[in-house]
Amino acid sequence: MEYNTTRSNLILREYGRNFQKLVDHIKGIKEKEKRNQLSKTLIDMMKVTQPAYNVQTEIEAKLWDDLYIMSDYSLDIDSPFPKPEKKSKNDISERLNYPKNKIRYRHYGKKIELLIDEACKLKKEEDKEAAVIHIGKIMKSFFSMWNKESIDNKVIIENIKELSNNKLSIDIEKVRDLNLFHKVTKERGSKSYYTKKYHKPNRPFRKKRMK
């Protein structure tokens, strides 16, 4: 019985343990002509496991490369393609790290933070106020998508202050009186917008009275 601790490491896991054993067996054969014959047979078997490749030359080159890789580049055979060069550790691409930027308010999303950062760069106060009003509308709309209850305008202003490091603000009374943070309506071009604006309800036909 074989145990995982006694087995050799799989170099290419997509081919499995049996293919690796066959490659190791071919490596141990002394006659080169026999190694060539068995290698071609093994390539035909490997083709069955790679049905996604449509171009014949493309799959042939890849399979012969994989054969060399599974032999740790030590297989001495006559291949129809050049033997690939063994990659060093420096050639292996580094694993990409996931972004670690934390989103302070997930129901608003990262884009709101980016919008606030851009609004902070504005120089004119009226432009900043217009940006705050626009951002407040979006924040109120986003909040309603995540929560059934509505959010108070004062909370939105406090969130904007916090996310902008107190660089952006607006008078709460002005927001309440003018209803500046009303939810963003559906855009032009949507079916509901077109229906409300242009669709007229069918009226019952009325006969004209005879004079």
All structural domains of the chain with their residue ranges = 13-85, 110-185
Closest CA to 138 of 117, 165, 156, 163: 156
Report whether 135 contacts 112 (CB < 8 A).
yes
Q: Which pLDDT belongs to residue 197?
A: 43
Q: Indicate the pTM of the whole model.
A: 0.43
Using 70 as the pLDDT threshold, list the residues of the chain that sit under it.
Answer: 1-9, 50-58, 88-101, 183-211
Q: Which pLDDT belongs to residue 60?
A: 83
Alpha-helical regions (H) of 6-101: 16-27, 32-48, 56-70
Report whether 12 contacts 69 (CB < 8 A).
yes
Report whether 46 contacts 63 (CB < 8 A).
yes
Q: Which pLDDT belongs to residue 109?
A: 82
* Angle between helix 16-27 and helix 32-48 axes, rounded to 10 deg: 170
Q: Which pLDDT belongs to residue 47?
A: 82
Residue 157, φ and ψ in degrees, nearest 5 = -65, -40
CA distance 75 to 182: 72
Q: Which pLDDT belongs to residue 127?
A: 94
Q: Which pLDDT belongs to residue 14?
A: 78
Q: Which pLDDT belongs to residue 190?
A: 41
Q: Which residues contact 153 (CB under 8 A, 6 or more apart)?
A: 136, 140, 172, 175, 176, 181
- Residue range 21-54, pLDDT digits in tens: 999 999 999 999 999 999 999 988 888 776 665 5
Q: Give helix then strand counts, H and E, for the chain.
A: 8, 0
